[in-house]
Every structure is written in structure tokens, then in C-alpha cells.
Structure 1
């Protein structure tokens, strides 16, 4: 039975309904709920909300991509996370219903990628790991027919994290990317530590689109991979002299700052400390007390929560640069998706278990049934 059928029957019985926007969707779906930390999620039936706000869209999921944050929240009871919840951030799918404000950008049938922030904003209906997801339309982006749902699913959280760290004034404050910006047109460089990671792969491309020379680190086996994304200078992070090598390279000219895209922030903080320039560090992971030497500013990037939805960086990236860059093919799928054998919500735990063992230069994806 569809929600609209149920509402019609209720109205016929004299029931008055206060509805922002009624959805024409099945009444029930399935979700993978995380009731507590330290245990696998549980698949169960759930009702689909019969109303959405003006700025919301309902998306039928075609693919979910996994992030380290999903594995961490599943295993560790973080103080700022409330259980039970629906995990997951990265989805692709088709728009099924739109609120009145969202209708200015999206229509039913649109193919989109989206960043689901349910766990961060304590709204289970906005968590990714379910059949239908409600998104704020500001966290969605249309994808061209030439881009598969599988490929597009690797983008949302990686792009949001990289963009916040790079372009937000709270972090490095770079100028926004554009499809018309000439390569290296600023004459300045930036260091991306961990260029083959999910955040790093996207940070490289965003920095090139903003006109910066990109210096990055990765393992020797991933050097060609990051060069293909646009990296200009690549250093092997396992080299015992890598800190000094990177500092020497950065100090040849003007460096705008450092994005620690993966791992502990200590290496980036060491580079900033040794450089003759004043370099800020934006880190994708927590910055422990004492990790940054005196005189070095290092901050963890927060790329989720209500404040991010309406941030100018998000608007400039998801609504400004990304749709055109995806449509003209200049923005590359990175990291490469790797689908797990099991489809549907059953396959999500399989993907998370693989992720916990460690992956490199790829992102695990589960396809919907």
C-alpha cells in the first residue's frame, strides 16, 4: 500500500492531516539499524515517513559506499553519537519525491549522489543504510547518465571532507574550484598528505581545479595513481627522510597549507614545524593533544552535521562545481569502487568487515537489490 492511498482513506474518514509534503511511496521499507556499539547492525522493517519538509527529497537507494567513519561508529561508542541510529553517509539513487523548495533543483526520476547525515543530526530517516533515504537537497548532486550509480557512490563524504578542509575559512580557506580555472594558475602549492586515500584522491582533483600545484605523499605502488589524478610532485611516505624531502620541495615557493587526508596528523605537523613558512594543517582525523608542536595550528575537519548543510563551501562544491565537472567528465572517479558480492542491506556488514581489515586506493560499495 502506498502512503498516498493511506492518506486518502484517512481523509475520507474525516481525519484532517497537517502535511508539509505527502510522499507517494510504500508504507514500509527495510533498514540496517545500529542499536549499540560493538555489535553488527540489525536488519528490520521500518515505516517510511509519510511527510517531508520543503527542503527535503526522498531517494530510492541504488548503491551504498562504505567509509571508515561507519566502521568506527559501529565499533566504538563515541560520546557525541546517540544510539540507536542508522549508519552510512554515501548513497546514489533516484529521486522519488521532493519538497516544495527542493523542487527548484530536483524532480522525481533524477539520478543523484547524496550525503546522508542521519547519525550526525540524530535523524534516523536521514541515515544511509536503508531502502529509502531522506536528504536535505543541499547535500545532493545530479549525476549524468554516463556515470554509473556504483562509480558515483564513492564521492559524497570524501568530497565534503576535502572541500571543507580546503575551502572553508575555518580551515585552509582556498578559493573555490571551477571548471574554467587554469592548472597551477595561482603559482602556489599545497601538500596533500595521503593522496591515495578517499579524501586525498578528491582533494588532489579539487586543488587542481582551484589552480594549485599539488604535492602529495603515498606508497610507491600508488604513485602513478595520484599522478593520474593531477598530483605534480609525489613522495613515498615510507621513506625515512620524507619529512625533510617534502619541506625542501614546499619551501621552493609559496605553500598555502597542508591537508592531512589520511592517518595521524603528526607527519603534517612535523612538516609545518620544519618549514620556513607558516603552514596551517587541516586533518581528516582527530588531532590529539600535543600532536602539533608549538606554533603549528592543526584542526580536525568536521564535514557533517547541520552546520555543513548550509555552509558556503558545500554550496560552491555540490551545487556549483561538481555537477558541471561530472557532466563534462573532467572529474575522475576516485578512489575506484569495489563491489562486494552480497547485494542489499545484507551486503553492508560484509563490506564493513572487509573495510575494517584495511583497503588502499579503493572504496567498498554494496549494491541495492
Structure 2
């Protein structure tokens, strides 16, 4: 098969690799489309040369491991999957074939395309972890009591899914976005939108919510945003989740602020840089539940995938990294594979 492999200079190139064999609890999928995430670019810069890049893929099931129940997964089905890229020389999402644990995949409903489905795994899983694991929000189908949540950068990939999940949870939603994206986030469920560049952004958020913001997700979590988002919370504080580890110099101790690690959802230990993350079985169990729920919720339109832009095949991954680095894109970048 062809696979996108990290080089010694931390660029990526297509190389030939053997098609991987699924383990007992895994399935082999023939990749149709793959979604690009910021973690893919960062992992290429930090990962070991020779490993295969890519985390998010959509593909057709072509082989089942010996323990995979054939009443749950069938050959020929199209499923999305999430693996950790840049750690294996035999497996990754930016390749023509990929293996993954069967119960961490989701059957794609016919109402969305494989390319749209490629926008789901990591951004959706991150938003789901923030809301239902790090924040004390009741998990679907239960609903909250209409508390206010601020989602910083609501038009980001994680932000769009966080808005939709917060709406399903019955929260009232304040968010930030550039004016050109206001209609998008309002259509997804945002009640209040403020331009993140507005010098009065914090005061406007507090005024519009009657100074009642209790929960928050910072989808940027760098360059001063955690310190800024804390200022939007109600006087008595609340709970804020960051998508990156940026916990220094926070001005408000009454705003309980925690960071999360997306790879925890896969159920195994992970090391990123100098930080070691223990396996968290509860997070993996949550992801397995939501993989089943996704088929229904995306199928009946309660959740919508992101707008995507297909920029080519796997030979365009390096170009995709450059688009991420420069911010020169407005839609989720996806590659056609097969």
C-alpha cells in the first residue's frame, strides 16, 4: 500500500508499506478519505522518522479480526476511525489501509459522505471529552438546567462540534468567532456570538449572559486565550477546559481550569513530549458509547459534520500541513484516498 511517512527532516512523503494485519479485536479498513488535524502537523514535527502519519480516516471494512463480532461489524460497511498517527511504522490514517479496534469505529449513515465523515473523529471526540468527561455536564440524552457555557473559537473544528453537543445538552451557549462566521455558529446553536478581536469581547460576553457563565471550553488554549477566557466567567467562578496544556499564570483560581488529552480516548497510555498520560478506561468506554450514538445522531440530522475541502490525495498531505501552518483555509481539509 501507499502510506504517508515522516522523513528525517520531518517533512512527509509517500512510500510503499505492507498492508497491516488486524489483531484479534481489530478491523482492517480500505481508506476512502482522511481528515487533517493540527495534531498531524505537530506529530510530524515531533514524531519518529519512518512512522506513518495521520489519525482520522473513513474506509470500507475489508477484514475482521478473530474476536470481532460479525453481528456488530460487517465487511463492506463504511466506518470512521481514529488512531494515533506518527507512532507506528505499520499503521496510520494517511495510508491506503488501516487497522483499528472495531468498537472505536462508527458506522457512517447514508445521509453524509465519507469526505464529510472524515471531519468527525478527533474534533468530535475532543469536544465530547471536554463536555462529558472534564465538565460536569449530563451526558446525552440527559439535559442540563440551561447553564451558560462559553466556547472560545466556536467556528474551529472542535468548537463547531462543542456547540452542537452543548445544544443537545440543553446549555445556553456563548461563543467567539470572526463576523464572517457568525451565521455558521448561530445555525449550529450559539445564543450569543462576539468577535474575538473586539477589545470589549469579555465585557460583551458577560453582559449578554447576565454575568452567568459557569462552564467553558477554550478551543485555542494558547497565546493568552486561557487567561482571557477565565475573565468571562461569573464572579463565583466555574469550570474551564483547555485543549492544550497552558496552565501557567492563570488569574482566577476560582475558575477550575484543566487540560485534556485527546489520545486518552483510545484507551492506552500515551506520551507527548515530556508528558506521560495514563490509560483512562472510562474515557474509552465513553468513546465506544458515542461511536454507536454517532450513527443515529448524524443520521437523523441532530448533529452535522463540518464543511470540508478536498485538496487532493495523499500526495497533498505536505501541502495540507502548510495550509494549517498559515491558517490559509476556511474549511476542514480532507484527502481522497480510494
Q: Output the CA distance in 2 between the equivalents of 1:250 and 1:317.
A: 30
Q: Output the CA distance in 2 between the equivalents of 1:282 and 1:62.
A: 33
Structure 1 residue 272: Cα displacement? 2.6
| CA 100–159 in structure 1, closer or farther in 2 if over 3 Å, else same | same
Structure 1 residue 172: Cα displacement? 1.1
Which of 6, 9, 13 is the matching residue for 1:42? 13
Unaligned runs of 5+ in 2: 269-278
Which of 246, 257, 262 is the matching residue for 1:303? 262
Paired residues in the alignment total 322
Q: Output the CA distance in 1 between the equivalents of 2:125 and 2:84.
A: 11
Q: Output the CA distance in 1 between the equivalents of 2:329 and 2:207.
A: 27
Q: TM-score, normalised by structure 2?
A: 0.87
Q: Output the CA distance in 2 between the equivalents of 1:101 and 1:190.
A: 42
Is 1:347 aligned to 2:306, yes or no?
Answer: no
Match of 1:129 in 2: 94
| CA 361–262 in structure 1, closer or farther in 2 if over 3 Å, else same | farther
Q: Output the CA distance in 2 between the equivalents of 1:30 and 1:111.
A: 20
| CA 324–86 in structure 1, closer or farther in 2 if over 3 Å, else same | same
| CA 226–259 in structure 1, closer or farther in 2 if over 3 Å, else same | same
Match of 1:109 in 2: 76
Match of 1:88 in 2: 54
Please state whether the residue corresponding to 1:31 is helix, strand or coil: strand
On the 8 A contact 1:197/1:360 being kept in 2, the answer is no
Q: Output the CA distance in 2 between the equivalents of 1:101 and 1:269.
A: 48
Q: Output the CA distance in 1 between the equivalents of 2:211 and 2:96.
A: 52
Is 1:249 aligned to 2:211, yes or no?
Answer: no
Match of 1:149 in 2: 114
Is 1:227 aligned to 2:174, yes or no?
Answer: no
Unaligned runs of 5+ in 1: 1-28
Deviates most, 242-251 or 53-62: 242-251
Please state whether the residue corresponding to 2:17 is helix, strand or coil: strand
Q: Output the CA distance in 2 between the equivalents of 1:355 and 1:365.
A: 12
Alignment of 1:165-184 (within 5 A): 165-168=130-133, 171-178=134-141
Please state whether the residue corresponding to 2:186 is helix, strand or coil: helix
Match of 1:214 in 2: 173
| CA 328–100 in structure 1, closer or farther in 2 if over 3 Å, else same | farther
Structure 1 residue 252: Cα displacement? 4.5
Q: Output the CA distance in 2 between the equivalents of 1:298 and 1:49.
A: 40
| CA 174–82 in structure 1, closer or farther in 2 if over 3 Å, else same | farther
Is 1:74 aligned to 2:37, yes or no?
Answer: no
Q: Output the CA distance in 2 between the equivalents of 1:315 and 1:286.
A: 25
Structure 1 residue 243: Cα displacement? 1.1
Structure 1 residue 83: Cα displacement? 4.2
